[in-house]
Structure 1
Amino acid sequence: MARRTFFSFHYLPDVWRAMNVRKCLKFMPEEAVDGFFDNSVFEASKRESEASLKAFLRDGMKSSSVTCVLSGARTSERRWVRYEIVRAILKGNGLLTIDIDGVKNEGGYVADKGRDPLSCVGLYKTDNGMFFAEVSNGEWIKYGDYTSAVPATCLWFDPPSSASVIPLSAHCMRYDFATQNGQQNIAGWIETAAGLAGR
């Protein structure tokens, strides 16, 4: 079953790599393609306000059932990638990371392996509810772009039981496109993420 998949990535350094990953199934024999629908939007840099950018990203994710973070050297630090990760959880999407540092860019170069973006966003419990946290300067802080309590009904995994932050990477799979034969396996990885989320 094909999944409508939203791809999140750091645009400027990784767009070439991301495009090659997102379009890889076009070059496989038709009978071998389980496939996925591409429902991505690029990070928009020229919007009237932060609110309009957030609305733009939410709209881009509307029909997706899986969010796939394509991770390069600095993706984990990107504000809007983190926002897309948070929105994926609130939407109940399947969620996974695929490292793309080993995919050559237009100049033929690979990149340094970055930190898993899903290890930089997490959840914790307080007396007032459950909240998102993010890593800043090596420390967990309350996530700033969505400060409301997170409904437990959004989660497809066990909610945190204490004030200790549980990173989303504890619940989601991480793969490497270059070393794990991503062209052959990406559809299966996406399907696994959908299955974990009950989508």
Structure 2
Amino acid sequence: MVRRVFFSFHFKRDAWRAGQVRNSWLTQPNRESAGFIEGSDWEEVERQGDAAIRRWIDGQLNGTSVTAVLIGKETSERPWVNYEIVESVKKGNGLVGIYIDNIKDKNGLRDTRGINPLSQHQFSDTGGRFSDAYNTYDWVLDRGYDNFGDWVEEAANIAGR
């Protein structure tokens, strides 16, 4: 099943690494085998201010069933990432965390592993952490190119979607 995925990440710091994940479907035989469809123009929206960003995030979440949180060194510190995570859970999206620190940047360098932002949020009804309910993977070590579609499906199933 093809699912629409919203990608949450620290745009300024991790855009290149996130692009490797977000665009991985381009080299798959078709979008169904990649397991997701995604498209966004963050740069243009960011120039319009906080209210526009909030509207854009809310609009991009519409029609999605899973939010993939791409975790870099500073992702957990980003207010918009935290907003996206909370809003995703409110709308019933499944979550999947993906460490991207092992993806080499354009200079061939890896990064420092950051804190999983899913561990910083709790469900209001049970108090359990999002990271206890949803899985987190390493894009490189867990072969994200081959397994991302399965991770998305797993997250959707956990959320009951």
CA drift of 1:192 comes to 0.4
Instruction: Tell me which residue corresponds to 1:133.
Output: none
CA drift of 1:41 comes to 5.2
Q: Distance in 1 between matches of 2:129 and 2:139?
A: 22
Q: Distance in 2 between matches of 1:17 and 1:107?
A: 11
Answer yes or no: is the 8 Å Cα contact 1:7–1:39 preserved in 2: no
Match for 1:176: what amino acid? D
CA drift of 1:116 comes to 0.6
Query: Unaligned regions of 5+ residues in structure 1, if any?
Result: 124-129, 131-158
Instruction: Tell me which residue corresponds to 1:77.
Output: 77
CA drift of 1:45 comes to 2.9
The alignment status of 1:186 with 2:112, answered yes or no, reads no
Number of residue pairs matched? 160
Match for 1:65: what amino acid? S
Q: Distance in 1 between matches of 2:92 and 2:41?
A: 19
Answer yes or no: is the 8 Å Cα contact 1:17–1:105 preserved in 2: yes
The alignment status of 1:61 with 2:61, answered yes or no, reads yes
Answer yes or no: is the 8 Å Cα contact 1:75–1:117 preserved in 2: yes
Instruction: Tell me which residue corresponds to 2:12.
Output: 12
Is the partner of 1:68 in helix, strand or coil? strand
CA drift of 1:6 comes to 0.2
CA drift of 1:177 comes to 0.4
Q: For residues 62-141 of structure 1, what are the structure 2 equivalents within 5 Å?
A: 62-123=62-123, 130=124
CA drift of 1:121 comes to 1.7
Answer yes or no: is the 8 Å Cα contact 2:2–2:32 preserved in 1: no
What stretches of structure 1 move > 6 A for 4+ residues in a row? none
CA drift of 1:39 comes to 4.5
Structure index of larger Rg: 1
Are the structure 2 counterparts of residues 166 and 87 from structure 1 closer, same or farther at C-alpha, using a change threshold of 3 Å?
A: same
Larger relative CO (CA 8 A, sep 6+): 1 or 2?
2
Q: Distance in 1 between matches of 2:110 and 2:159?
A: 32
Q: Identify the match of residue 172 of structure 1 among 134, 139, 155.
A: 134
Instruction: Tell me which residue corresponds to 1:45.
Output: 46
RMSD of Structure 2 on Structure 1 (CA)? 1.9
Answer yes or no: is the 8 Å Cα contact 1:66–1:95 preserved in 2: yes
Question: Quick check: which one's helix share is greater?
Answer: 2
CA drift of 1:47 comes to 2.4
